[in-house]
Structure 1
Amino acid sequence: MGSVVLSLDAELAWGFHDRETIPADRVATARESWLRLLELFDDYEVPATWAVVGHLLLDSCDGDHADHPAADDWFERDPGTWEGRDEQWYGSKLVDAIENADADHEVGCHTFSHVEMRSVSREIASAEMRECVERSEERGLSVDSVVFPRNYVGHRDVLAAYGVKCYRGTQPRRWYDRGVLGSAAKLLGWPSKAVSPTLVTPEEDEYGLVDVPASLYLFCFEGRARAAAERVGDDPIVSMAKRGIDRASTEDGVFHMWLHPNNLTDERDFERMEAILEHLAAVRETTPLSVETMGSVAADIKDDEPLPREPIGPR
C-alpha cells in the first residue's frame, strides 16, 4: 500500500526577486491563495509540507544582510520594512496560519532567500541553511525537509550538516515533457488519457538524507494546451492526479504532488485543487491509503538514531 504526499514551494515575491520582471498576477494573489489552500486542506483533512522561504518567517527586516556572503545586489529588492506594509516580502502571519491550521502540516525550508543551490558557493549555501534553521528555532520549529528552489539540487552535505532529514528530489521526466511531439501531446490532452503518473520510491542517499522525488507538478499543463483540453473534456491534471492517487491506493510507493501557492491565480485553479483533494478524501475513506508529509516519509525510512551533525559557520 502506498501513500500520497503534497509539498508546496511557499515563496511569495522571493520566488522571482532575481528575475528581471516579477509576475504581478502571481505575486498579487499569493497570500490569498496561501490562505485559501490552507482552508481546503482543512476541509479535506490533508496535511502538506509547506517549504517556506526563510525570509518569510520574519515580520520585519531592516533590509541589511551584510553578514550574508551573497553578492551585494542579491537582496536589492528586499524593501527593509514590515509585513503590514510590504506583504509580498514578509510572511510571519502566513506561517502562523500554517501552524494554527487543523491539518497537521509540516513547515519545511525553501532556503532563506530562494537561491539556486546547485550554482552557489558552499559558503552561501551554508548561510542560507543557517538562517533558516535559526529563524525556525526561534519559532520552536525544526527544519526536517527542504525543497530546492527551481528543483536544482545541490550542497546536500550542507543540508546534512544542519540536521535536515529529507529533500524533494527531481521529478522523472516523461516523453510528453520533451520536444515537438511532447508539445503536441499536451495540446491534445494525451497525458491524462495515456500516461499514469509515477509512484516514487524514497531512498536514503550517501549523506544520510532521504530523497523524496516528485511525481507530478500540478501546474505543468497550462496556457493554450490546458484551454484546448478543457474544451473537450476534464482538466488533464485532475485526471492524472486522480490516476496517481488510485495507483497509490493499490500499489507500493509514494505519489508526490507539488505546486506553488502563487500558481493559483483564478477560480478554475482552486477548482482543480478541490477536485483533487475531494478524490483523495474519497479514496482514503475506502482504502488504507495514507497522506503523509515529507518529514513523516523520511521518519519511516531513516533509523531513529540521528547521525552526528556539525553546522557550518557561526550560529
Structure 2
Amino acid sequence: MDSVGSVVLSLDAELGWGFHDLERLPSDRVESGRSGWTTMLELCAEYDVPATWAVVGHLMLDACDGVHEGHPTPEGWFARERDEWADREEFRFAPDLVGGVLEADVDHELASHSFSHVLFGRPETDSELATAEIRRSLEIADEWGQSIDSFVYPRNDIGHREILAENGITAYRGRSPTYDGVRGFVDSTVRSRSMLVEPEIDEHGLVDVPASLFLFGFEGPARTVAESIWEDPMVVQAQRGIDQAARSDGLFHMWLHPNNLTHERDDRRMRAILAYLDRRRAETDLTVETIGGVAHRFDAVSRIEDEAIVVDGDD
C-alpha cells in the first residue's frame, strides 16, 4: 500500500448499550458516556482530527417501547431498557449526540456498531440475529440520510463477516496484537516493537483495518504509579505509534470508547494524544484518516495492482 503514513482514530459510541447485558454495571462509565462523547467531539474539533464514530443504531432513535417485537434477540435482551432504564432515556437514546457528529466541521465517518450491541462471535448469535442487527442499524442510518460503509464489532467479537458483505458494508475494524497494559508497554516502548498494522482484503471482499492500540488499556493502580513517577504510559505508547507512522508509509490505528473518559485525567490523556498527533501532522506528511477512507484507498490501490498484473500477464 504505497502511501504516506497515516493514523486512524475510531470510537465505539454506545452509551448504556455497551453494558446493558451485564449483571453488574460499571456505573462510572455508564454515567460518563455522554460527557465523554461531548469531550471527544470538542477535542476532535480543536485539533481537526476526523474519526470513525461507530454508533449503536438504537441511539439514533428518538423513542421506542423497549419491546422491539420481531427482532430476533434472546429472551430478556431488552429487559433492562424496559425496566431499570425505563426512565433513563439518556442511556438509551442519543440523536443529539449523533447529530453533533454529523454536523461537525470535521469530516467524521459514521459507522455501525450494530443495532443493540449484540456480540457477533457468540454461539447464540445466529445468522438471523446478525442480519437483523446489521439491517436495522442500516435502516435507521438511512432514515437519517446516511450511508454506512464501516462496521466495528461490539467488544471486538468478530463473526458473520459474510453478512456484513451481503449488506453493503465494505470495511471493519479487525483484531491484531495490541499493546495494552504492562506487557504491551514493555513491548512497544522498551523492545521498540512496531505498532503499525496492514489492512487486507479478507475472503469476503471486506477490507480489514486492524486495531493497533486501545487507548485505555493501562489503568488502575499501575497507571497511578506510572503517572506519579513518570508520565501517562498510554500517551507514551500513542506517541510512539504516531511517530512510527510518521516515519513510514504504515498505519497506526488507535481506538477507545467515549465512556472511557470518566475523570479529568482521562480528558488530559486524550488532549495530549490529539495535540501530539496534530503537531506531528504539521511537521511531516502524516495524514489522519477514517476506517472507510483507508478501506477506499486500499481497495483502489489493490484494484490498480490487480489490473497491472493482468496487463503484465497478457504481455
> Which of 177, 197, 200 is the matching residue for 1:203?
200
One-letter identity of the residue aligned with 2:270: M
Q: Which has the higher helix share?
A: 2
Look up the match of 1:151: 156
Q: Mapping of 1:21-170 within 5 angstroms?
A: 21-79=24-82, 86-119=89-122, 120-170=125-175
- C-alpha displacement of 1:84: 9.1
One-letter identity of the residue aligned with 1:218: L
The answer to whether the 8 Å contact 1:52/1:109 transfers is yes
The answer to whether the 8 Å contact 1:116/1:149 transfers is yes
How many angstroms apart in 2 are the aligned matches of 1:71 and 1:33? 30
Q: Determine helix, strand or coil for the equivalent of 1:200.
A: coil
The answer to whether the 8 Å contact 1:47/1:103 transfers is yes
Query: Are 1:5 and 2:8 matched, yes or no?
Result: yes
Q: 1:123 to 1:222 in 2, by over 3 A?
A: same
- C-alpha displacement of 1:196: 4.2
Q: Determine helix, strand or coil for the equivalent of 1:257.
A: strand
Q: Determine helix, strand or coil for the equivalent of 1:77.
A: helix
The runs of at least 4 aligned residues of structure 1 exceeding 4 Å deviation read: 80-85
The answer to whether the 8 Å contact 1:192/1:236 transfers is no
How many angstroms apart in 2 are the aligned matches of 1:83 and 1:57? 17
- C-alpha displacement of 1:230: 0.8
> Which of 20, 25, 34 is the matching residue for 2:23?
20
Between the two proteins, the alignment pairs up a number of residues equal to 297
Look up the match of 2:211: 214
Tell me the percent identity.
Answer: 52
- C-alpha displacement of 1:171: 2.7
Question: Structure 1 stretch 107-116 or stretch 165-174: which is displaced more?
Answer: 165-174
Q: Determine helix, strand or coil for the equivalent of 2:92.
A: coil
Q: Mapping of 1:137-286 within 5 angstroms?
A: 137-173=142-178, 190=186, 193-194=189-190, 195-286=192-283
The answer to whether the 8 Å contact 2:178/2:214 transfers is no
Q: 1:116 to 1:170 in 2, by over 3 A?
A: same
Please tell me the root mean square deviation across aligned C-alpha atoms, in Å.
Answer: 2.3
**Could you state the TM-score of these two structures normalised by the residue count of structure 1?**
0.89
One-letter identity of the residue aligned with 1:153: I
**Could you state the TM-score of these two structures normalised by the residue count of structure 2?**
0.89
**Runs of 5+ unmatched residues, structure 2:** 304-315
How many angstroms apart in 2 are the aligned matches of 1:24 and 1:79? 18
Q: Mapping of 1:294-309 within 5 angstroms?
A: 294-303=291-300
